[in-house]
Amino acid sequence: MSSAESAPEPPRSNRLVIAGASAGTVFEWYDFYLYGSLAGLITLHFFSGVDPTTGYIFALLAFAAGFAVRPFGAIVFGRLGDLWGRKNTFLVTMILMGVSTFVVGLLPGYSQIGVAAPIALIVMRLIQGLALGGEYGGAATYVAEHAPPGKRGLYTSWIQTTATVGLFLSLVVILAVRLSVGEDAFAAWAWRIPFLVSALLLGVSLWIRLKLDESPVFRKMVEEGRASKKPLAESFARWGNLKLVILALVGLTAGQAVVWYTGQFYALFFLEKTLKVDGVTTNTLIAVALLLATPFFVVFGWLSDKIGRKPVILAGCLLAALTYQPIFKALTAAANPQLAAASAGAPVRVIADPATCAFQFDPIGRQTFASSCDVAKAALTQAGISYENVRAAPGSVAVVQIGERAMPSFDGKALPAPVFIATRTAWQAQLNAALADAGYPAKADPERVNKPLVVGLLFLLVLYVTMVYGPIAAALVEMFPARIRYTSMSLPYHIGNGWFGGFLPTTAFAMVVAQGNIYFGLWYPIAIAAVTFVVGLFLVREMRGADIDA
């Protein structure tokens, strides 16, 4: 890339530091993202005891569970990192991640052990989340504390590539297995292979990291007796530092997180689940976009050394907030033009009494959504159809209107379970036939997917990711003193990425189900990115070039 030519390579003496920290972090992200890339199949194997809509939301929640505990991992391992050292701590987190991921590849499914299957899966996800909560802060701090002044953005940007490289690697391994064994075998058992491969990656990563020495800043701090004995208290019980933690969260990492997860994960879910593009095509298109955009992590990290961290990060947040709606609408037209044409020519409306419409989420699988409104909305959501909600008279039976054609739903609350299931199946078949008559495709036609345009739109989404994520490590490292840096920077990063970002697919999908508009979920990342832009612009100080030895 010509734009990267002016970004000089690190000296040879520091390349091992960057390579060692990055290799282990790539491996951890690979492990963590396998679940997100295979959420659809995991739904079938581990959540098959509930209805499809609830099962998919529950699978997304299990995905998000790993993110939910990341702040707790940041607290536990951040404290150890400030007390025990950067290198030792991220060795422990890497082992935890590798073992838990390998176990996921061996877990029996719901059909073998019932409800114990999703419970065991979620336990493994929690262990992964705890490990990842301690990994990032250690790797970013370790590299930044080796970087010469004026090059922290460049050096730490290599760590920032690891999340995308890990996702790319997971997609490549999944695609290779899919193509080698076929879709049927992959869906039945071969989806486990990418998880089992993590054992090999763990061995390689451990070997590399064991060659590294401790951070020079941490060694000097210990030698001079300046190391913190109570990093948690110093980080969060003193207002001066706690204020920085809050500003780092609201003014930097929250917006960075939602831009990141929208550009990589929500785009993947949107293509496969909503637009009905087949899994192989989706993985291939995402992988190509990631490959093209990944060098820009380094470009924007280097640029932040020249003009500051804030201008680059906040520009990415603003661009995302302003353009997400048109980009995703263009993605629909490019990936599934038949769906876009049908939505414009024969819009769908659900005319129902709002009192009969439930929020369709039942994590234990004991509730049946049998009202006429719930039956209609569940069927449309599963088909990936955008619809408008229209209020009807109280107590009336819901009607699905497809263009000018009206199709009454049915109320199954009084029906015995077997009769309800049979009636719903027959009604869904009639609905699908009516949708097909109106031009709505059951799946995206691979021959009509405008692949260059889809890749271009996905590249643009990932480019925003590189803008907000490339400089973030340097920005966070420079905000906090060395004695409590690991603890202080890890918590806002993992609350932002674990909670604001990690819950984005679940939140956005639930918003779409409730509202009916397939683009409605985008308002969540748009709002968060806009708040981060405003808070970061007016309240966060530019810390480029700060003394990080202090």
For the stretch 43-100, pLDDT in tens is 788 877 666 666 666 666 676 677 778 888 888 888 887 777 777 787 888 888 888 8
514-540 average pLDDT score = 93
pLDDT at 52: 63
pLDDT at 328: 96
List where CATH 3.40.30 sits in the chain: 345-424
Report whether pLDDT(364) > 70: no
List where CATH 1.20.1250.20 sits in the chain: 14-336+445-539
- Report the C-alpha gap between 265 and 506 in whole angstroms: 11
Least confident residue range of 132-146, 214-228, 272-286: 214-228
What stretch of H or E contains 476? helix 472-479
The fold of 14-336+445-539 is Growth Hormone; Chain: A; (1.20.1250)
- Report the C-alpha gap between 152 and 140 in whole angstroms: 10
> Which residues fall within 8 angstroms of residue 123, CB to CB, at 6 or more apart?
none
413-421 average pLDDT score = 88
- Report the C-alpha gap between 151 and 481 in whole angstroms: 18
CB atoms within 10 A of CB 439: 16
Report whether pLDDT(502) > 60: yes
User: What does pTM read for this prediction?
Assistant: 0.81
Per-residue pLDDT reduced to its tens digit, 137-159:
777 878 888 888 788 899 889 88
> Which residues fall within 8 angstroms of residue 270, CB to CB, at 6 or more apart?
328, 331, 518
Closest CA to 424 of 414, 435, 436, 411: 411
- Would you state the CATH architecture of domain 345-424? 3-Layer(aba) Sandwich (3.40)
Residues pairing with 349 in the sheet: 388, 401
What stretch of H or E contains 388? strand 387-391
The number of CA neighbours under 13 Å toward the Cβ of 420 is 14
Percent of the chain scored above 90 by pLDDT? 37
- pLDDT band at residue 8 under the 50/70/90 scheme: very low
pLDDT at 56: 63
- Measured over the CA atoms of residue 24, residue 30, residue 33 and residue 34, the dihedral's sign is negative
What stretch of H or E contains 145? none
Average pLDDT of the chain to the nearest whole number:
85
Contact 73, 130 (CB under 8 A): yes
- C-alpha of 398 from chain center: 35
**Helix crossing, 70-84 with 485-495: angle to 10°?**
170
- Amino acid symbol at 181: V
140, two tokens: 């970013």
237-242 average pLDDT score = 85
Instruction: Kindly provide the residue ranges of all beta strands, DSSP E only, lying in 162-287, ordered along the sequence.
Output: none
> Which residues fall within 8 angstroms of residue 401, CB to CB, at 6 or more apart?
348, 349, 350, 351, 390, 407
477-481 average pLDDT score = 88
